[in-house]
Amino acid sequence: MTDLLAPLQSLKHGNWFKLICGASFQHLPAVRNLTLAYTLAGADCIDVAADPAVIVATQEALLVAQRLARDAQERGFAFTGDLPLLMVSLNDGEDPHFRKADFNTQECPSDCPRPCEKICPAQAILFNNTKDEFSGVIREKCYGCGRCLSICPYGIIYTNSYVSTPGAIAPLIMSKGIDAIEIHTQVGPLAEFQRLWQAIAPWADQLKLLAISCNDGEGLIDYLQAIYDLIVPRPQFLIWQTDGRSMSGDIGDGTTIATIKLGQKVLAANLAGYVQLAGGTNSYTVPKLQAMGLLNDFGLENNNPKIQNPKSKIAGVAYGSYARVLLSPMLDQLENKEVVNTDSQGNIRLEEKPELLWQAVALAHSLVSQIKSQ
C-alpha cells in the first residue's frame, strides 16, 4: 500500500479527482495550462485526447508542475510533486466525445443573430468581418458537445466523427509514456470493443490503470460484465466511468443527477473495479454524493482515514466542461497578454504570469478540495 502511487491511493481511499481535458479537445495552450493548474491543485489524473501534440503539451505541463511543487506548498497547496496519471481516451465506435462541429459560413443568412457563437462553451465559433480572416469552427477548440447543432435555426451545422484506429494505438502507448487508457464504449455488440482491446492487450501490462466509460442503456450491466470478461490481461486498476449526461457539467447544478443515478446502478451491480462519475459533474456533485452517503467517510482520526469498504462507494469524480469553464477567465486573460517566452510548441506558458497561475490554481483547488477533504 505504501509504495502505491499517490493517485492510485486516492482511488483506493475514494477521493480520486480526474480532469477531463476532452477526448477531442486539441487546443494546446488550454490543455497545457489546465493541466498545470489542476496538477498543482492536486488532481490524480489528467485525461487527454490520444493526439501526440496534445500528449507532449500535457507532459510538458506536468514537468513544470513538478518544478513548482515547493512554491505550491509555500502557498498552502498540498501538492507534493507526485504527478497525476496521464490518461488518453479512445473510442470503439461512434461517440459524441469524438466528433467536431463544422459549417459553411457562406450559408449563414446575414441577419442571423448567431446563437451558435453565444452557446459554444469553448469559444470555438468565430465570425470575422473580412473575408481574409477565418470564420467558422476552430477545430482544435471544438470538443463535440453538440450544443450549436440544436440551436442553429437553419440546421446547417453538422459533425464529423472519427473512430480510434487500433493500429495506431500500440505505438502511442509504447512511445509516449502514457499511464492509463480510457475506452469509450456504448451498450451493444461486443465486436467493436473486442477489436480495440485486441490491439491494446499486448501492452496491457504497461498500463497502471484502465477505464471504461459508458452511458446508460438497456442491458448495461450485462454489457459491462461481458467487457470485464474480455479484458485479459487485466490491468491492476480498473475504473467504470459512468457517463451520465455527457459534456454538460457547466450547464447547471441538476446535470449531475444522471451520473449519480448511473453510478448507483453500477455500484449495485458489484462489478470488480472502481466506480467513478463523469458527464454532468460540477460543484454540486460532491455535496450531493455526501448527502446520499455515497462517498467514503474520509474523516481523519489519528491520521487514519476511516475507509469503509471502499468498493461499495463512489471512488472518485471526473470533471470536464465544468472544470474547463471554471478556469476560462484566467486562460482568456492569458491569451490576451503579451508573453515573450512560449513552450516548445509555441504555447503561452501560464507560469510566465505567476499572479494568473496562482489564481487559477486556487480556483482549481476549490473544486479539487471538495473530494479531497472528504
Which segment (145-153, 185-193, 218-226, 250-258) binds ligand SF4 by CB under 6 A?
A: 145-153
The beta-carbon contacts of 304-309 under 8 Å, at least 24 apart in sequence, are: 305/13, 307/12, 307/13, 307/14
Nearest in space to 309 (alpha carbons), one of 5, 7, 14: 14
Smaller CB distance to ligand SF4: residue 138 or 230? Answer: 138
Site for ligand SF4, residues 62 to 101, rule: CB under 6 A = 101
Check binding of 27 to ligand SF4 (CB under 6 A).
no
Q: Residue 361: helix, strand or coil by DSSP? A: helix
Q: Which stretch binds ligand SF4 (CB under 6 A): 52-60, 152-160, 263-271, 296-304?
A: 152-160
305 or 320: whose CB is closer to ligand SF4? Answer: 320
* Spatial distance between the Cα atoms of 222 and 219, rounded to a whole number of angstroms: 5
CA-based nearest residue to 96, from 37, 24, 155: 24
* Residue 143 within binding range of ligand SF4, rule CB under 6 A: yes
String of contacts with ligand SF4 for each residue 161-180, x by CB under 6 A: --------------------
Is residue 154 near ligand SF4 by the rule CB under 6 A? Answer: yes
3-class DSSP state for residue 309? Answer: coil
DSSP lists the bridge partners of residue 180 as: 87, 209
Q: Which residue of 14, 93, 144, 249 would you call a contact of ligand SF4, by CB under 6 A?
A: 144
Query: Cα separation of 38 and 29, whole Å?
Result: 14
108 lies in the binding site for ligand SF4 (CB under 6 A)? yes
Closest CA to 18 of 241, 267, 185: 241
* 125 counts as binding ligand SF4 under rule CB under 6 A: yes
Residue 146 interacts with ligand SF4 (CB under 6 A)? yes
**Residues forming the site for ligand SF4 (CB under 6 A):** 101, 103, 108, 112, 114-116, 119-120, 122, 124-125, 137, 142-148, 152, 154, 156-157
